[in-house]
Chain A
């Protein structure tokens, strides 16, 4: 990580800090998220998307769009490999989310809980929308969108995300 800070363009000359992570955390946390997602009981945890939350966290913390989109692509493709559908659906969705989250992180202060909650909820819906678009448009899968399920899952993920982000904040390293 060479960037140390980026300016907040819409306000003053205030700087937002850019963080980096150690290699074990960079590799281990996404892998752990993937592992927990496949292993934890389906009744409770199927509604959560831990890899997505990890993608959003890393992207927002690094505030670098390229890093964010690559992280998203890697995590998404790994998730695809474990799933039943063609490889790339989650990859594309999480690439978009990684890029968006890091771009947003570079412009907004997303350190407080409220902002994190809203950002996570928004990106969950973006992720679902991209996923459905690709799945239906490219792979021709017969998926149906449920607004109620999408909103509930988005709120649940946002709530979990706020807690998870504070936990992962401990691994942040200042540049």
Chain B
């Protein structure tokens, strides 16, 4: 026996070492089925490597910051201008989308749907990877001390990145969505088809479990479906790049991840999600008309004296764009004075003071200016035009054009035509509003 062992000593040791490792693996597989605990040996290994990585990442970032902040300022102005233009476009888009979202919220609240929202996130920096081509995972510089826990979603502004697989005191291991063992519940944005997103051996991402008789087009956006209980519903995941018939009855759909998984630097860990009934927001929203009014060119400000002169001469008031919070005004005849009030948007509208005219608080906390012939009311008080004038200047109200807010705001500032019957030489007496109308609500059709 000894001679046999001696003769095959190398092979015996090889078998022994392999056996020990296989045994260790078996124990881990058995334990991982029961409960997932981080091995102490892993903590030691990670704690050995990550401090060096932190230092290097810090040095790298410091160098980059120095370069970008002090030396690389060429073209910043042009970029800034371009970004501002982009912001304008995105604001308009945001307004449109928020309208849609509010409508969806109203419908969901009617149906008592639950929705999951991101309540709290922790920003983290990527400091390393798992160090293997066969597994795709990254290390971030936040761990259990920062509130990071197992199975938390990790995202970027672009899209989802992965989930937290292991947590250490000051670091965490994130399994990315292009790892072969990862799986994310997703759906297609237009067709609402649901499937499972998986990584492949070469690092690409495929959408599985979509039947071959379904219509999926390249370019379609893939969103998280929320079915995996890790990623909140609706987060961008990627874009379909290629669709081909797959095995069995399923399509082979290749997806390009929305987040650039190979160039991750900063990520967000969703540490807290909230499940709540959607509430239709009714206050404080910004209308597309308001945004447009702010952005479109308007008549420049005029001194108050000029305005008064114009009133005296031609019953015409040019409303300065900056005179109200929204930059646009409707016309309504009001002849009363009141203190400034904050309107329903939380903004105190400023009013150009005109001699021989009076101001009044319109229903809804907005203000109107009486100009003798043409009056100006901020767009926030849609009902003022039709209701208030009846008691103060019925003739003017009946004859003057009252612009709705959309058209008014689109113009930015409105020059009202002279009222045919009201004249500046015969001003109406100032009468306080005896019975002010109730504030305008969001249900008003504008």
Contacts and interface: CB of A to CB of B under 8 A. Distances in A.
Contacts of A131: 134
Chain A CB within 10 A, most for which of B32, B127, B202, B263: B202
A84 B25 contact: no
A74 to B, nearest CB: 10
A38 B132 CA distance: 8
Nearest to B137: A84
Interface in B65-122: none
Interface residues on A, range: 35 or more
A68 B130 CA distance: 24
A51 B49 CA distance: 15
Nearest to B126: A42
Interface stretch (B10-18, B273-281, B288-296, B417-425): B10-18
B203 interface: yes
A46 B181 contact: no
Contact of A83 (B41, B137, B200): B137
A43 B263 contact: yes
Interface stretch (B172-180, B319-327, B382-390, B401-409): B172-180
A83 B201 contact: no
B202 A46 contact: no
Interface string B164-175: 011000000101
Interface string B274-310: 0000000000000000000000000000000000000
Given A81-B45, A83-B135, A143-B180, A88 B10 contact: no
A43 B133 contact: no
Contacts of B136: 42, 46
Contacts of B17: 69-70, 73, 95
B52 to A, nearest CB: 6
Nearest to B60: A39
B416 to A, nearest CB: 62
B42 interface: yes
A65 B10 contact: yes
A87 B42 contact: yes
B32 A79 contact: no
B151 interface: no
A88 B175 contact: no
Contact of A84 (B21, B56, B173, B263): B173
B28 interface: yes
A25 interface: no
B131 A88 contact: no
B132 A79 contact: yes
A148 interface: yes
A84 to B, nearest CB: 5
The binding surface of chain B is classed by DSSP as mixed
A27 interface: no
A103 B198 CA distance: 39
Contact of A66 (B10, B128, B175, B201): B10
B22 A88 contact: yes
Given A87-B41, A144-B180, A92 B21 contact: yes
Interface stretch (A16-24, A110-118, A133-141): A133-141
A37 to B, nearest CB: 4
A149 B202 contact: yes
Interface residues on B, range: 35 or more
A2 to B, nearest CB: 14
A95 B14 contact: yes
Interface string A80-99: 01111111111110011001
A78 interface: yes
Contacts of B22: 88, 92, 138
B201 to A, nearest CB: 4
B206 to A, nearest CB: 10
A66 B137 CA distance: 32
Contacts of B231: none
A34 B49 contact: yes
A88 B17 CA distance: 11
Contact of B46 (A79, A81, A89, A90): A81
B180 A85 contact: no
Contacts of A43: 262-263
Contact of A42 (B129, B175, B179): B129
B39 interface: yes
A114 B132 CA distance: 26
A37 B180 contact: no
Nearest to B50: A38
Nearest to A131: B134
Nearest to A130: B18
25 contacts: A39-B128, A46-B132, A46-B136, A46-B203, A47-B133, A49-B132, A69-B14, A73-B17, A83-B130, A83-B137, A84-B166, A84-B173, A86-B28, A87-B42, A88-B21, A88-B22, A88-B25, A90-B132, A92-B25, A95-B14, A96-B14, A134-B25, A138-B29, A141-B181, A146-B201
Interface of B: 9-10, 13-14, 17-18, 21-22, 24-26, 28-29, 32, 39, 41-42, 44-46, 49, 52-53, 56, 127-139, 165-166, 173, 175, 179-181, 198, 200-203, 261-263
Interface of A: 34-35, 37-39, 41-43, 46-49, 51, 65-66, 69-70, 73, 77-79, 81-92, 95-96, 99, 103, 128, 131, 134, 138-146, 148-150, 153
Closest 10 CB pairs of A and B: A37-B131, A81-B45, A43-B262, A146-B201, A38-B131, A88-B25, A149-B202, A65-B10, A38-B128, A86-B28
